[in-house]
Amino acid sequence: MEQTIFKHMETVRSITEQAMKKIPEETSDIIPKGFNNNIRWNFGHIAFIQEKLVFGLLKEEMNIPKDFGRFFAAGTKPANWEETPPSFAEIAEVLTEQKTRIESFIEGRLYEKLPTPFTNKAGITFYTVGEAFLFSFYHEALHMETIKRIHRSISSN
What is the DSSP track for the chain?
A: -HHHHHHHHHHHHHHHHHHHHHS-GGGTT---TT-SS-HHHHHHHHHHHHHHHHTGGGT----S-THHHHHHSTT--GGG--SPPPPHHHHHHHHHHHHHHHHHHHTT-TTPEEEEEEE-TTS-EEEEHHHHHHHHHHHHHHHHHHHHHHHHHHHH-
Q: Does residue 85 register a pLDDT over 90? A: yes
Share the mean pLDDT of the chain: 95
pLDDT band at residue 69, thresholds of 50, 70 and 90? Answer: very high
Considering the domain 2-156 in this protein, what is its CATH number? 1.20.120.450
Q: Provide the pLDDT for residue 1.
A: 83
What distance in Å separates the CA atoms of residue 125 and residue 118, rounded to the nearest whole number? 5
Q: Does residue 157 register a pLDDT over 80? A: no
Mean pLDDT value of segment 11-23:
95
Q: Which amino acid is at 87?
A: S
What distance in Å separates the CA atoms of residue 51 and residue 2, rounded to the nearest whole number? 19
Q: Does residue 11 register a pLDDT over 90? A: yes
